[in-house]
Structure 1
């Protein structure tokens, strides 16, 4: 349970960092980031999983880069559900997904190093 909460907090922090680095990717507050991280996680586990399975051949052909497109789509969808979370264009969503993936990779590395 503690690990799940820590992952949720780190995801919210990662979204805040992305909002500072990517133009057109806007999160109003930390509370909004917490809700956005929750909604993005739920959408990614449900709809994102289905999309990843359906587009598996394209993902293989692009050596996994198409996963960024799927994550960008799910981020844009999540922004439609959360007040205070706005993505102005698909380009912002794509670069936001790329930066988010890098930040989450860094967080996973740092958390695993401390264990």
Structure 2
């Protein structure tokens, strides 16, 4: 149940950020849920593989390259979900940063309310 709530919170954040950021478009709430689901799957399966493959450049850039990996995950979600569109690298970077901060804040509140 907790995972479904987190998925729906992420979908609401995706929908809200697509309203705020001009470079991100989401057609409806169903596509926002699909984006949240695809981001979860991509972060679980693809991101660890990319982190391992790009470990030397990540070390050389002191971890900054992880932001590029986050942008690649956003672009993969854009490619997978038909109702989600990202216009540029810059907007994908801003979207990933805002989504990460908002998710960590909301999930921390959610975890505190359950204890």
- TM-score relative to the length of structure 1: 0.87
Residues in 2 aligned to 1:15 and 1:56: alpha-carbon distance in whole angstroms: 29
How far apart are 1:49 and its partner, in Å?
Answer: 1.3
Residues in 1 aligned to 2:102 and 2:62: alpha-carbon distance in whole angstroms: 20
Residues in 1 aligned to 2:45 and 2:100: alpha-carbon distance in whole angstroms: 18
Residue in structure 1 matched with residue 105 of structure 2 by the alignment:
106
Q: Which runs of 5+ in 1 are unaligned?
A: none
How far apart are 1:112 and its partner, in Å?
Answer: 2.1
Distance change >3 Å, CA 103–CA 76, structure 1 → 2 = same
SS at match of 1:75: helix
Aligned length: 114
Q: Which runs of 5+ in 2 are unaligned?
A: none
**1:66-92 deviation per Cα after TM superposition (whole angstroms, max 9, x unaligned):** 322211111111111111100011111
How far apart are 1:32 and its partner, in Å?
Answer: 0.7
Residue in structure 2 matched with residue 79 of structure 1 by the alignment:
78
Distance change >3 Å, CA 50–CA 84, structure 1 → 2 = same
Residues in 2 aligned to 1:113 and 1:65: alpha-carbon distance in whole angstroms: 30
Distance change >3 Å, CA 62–CA 108, structure 1 → 2 = farther
Superposed, 1:18-57 pairs within 5 Å as 18-57=17-56
- TM-score relative to the length of structure 2: 0.87
How far apart are 1:102 and its partner, in Å?
Answer: 0.8
